[in-house]
Amino acid sequence: MSSIVMYHNPRCSKSRQTLALLQERGIEPHIIEYLTTPPTPAELTQTLAALNMQPQELLRTGEDDYKTLDLANFDGTNDALIELMCAHPKLIERPIVIHGEQAKVGRPPEAVLAIL
């Protein structure tokens, strides 16, 4: 298994571009299609730490779930938000590439090159 992990959504153009960028460099990451296999709260917490981000920074604010759950007015704990993100994985920004203790969101796709 690759030491590089990618949270991937094959329907997302940025996710596909990021995967292609890695593959062009001979890297075959371990792919996690996070919409079908969402991260656990512990995994997402660890990923957030590697990204050096707060849960709110990883939210996709344009998603219907964001509006339905009224997350613009969320006043709960980070742990509660992480639980929601795992229960509704469409809320998680993509793609995320993890290499060791570091991670980057592939927006733009070239951003992930900083951790390779």
Give the residue numbers marked as catalytic.
Answer: 12
> Which amino acid belongs to residue 91?
L
Going 32 to 53 to 66 to 69, the CA torsion angle's sign is: positive
Residue pair 7/43 in contact (Cβ under 8 Å)? The answer is no
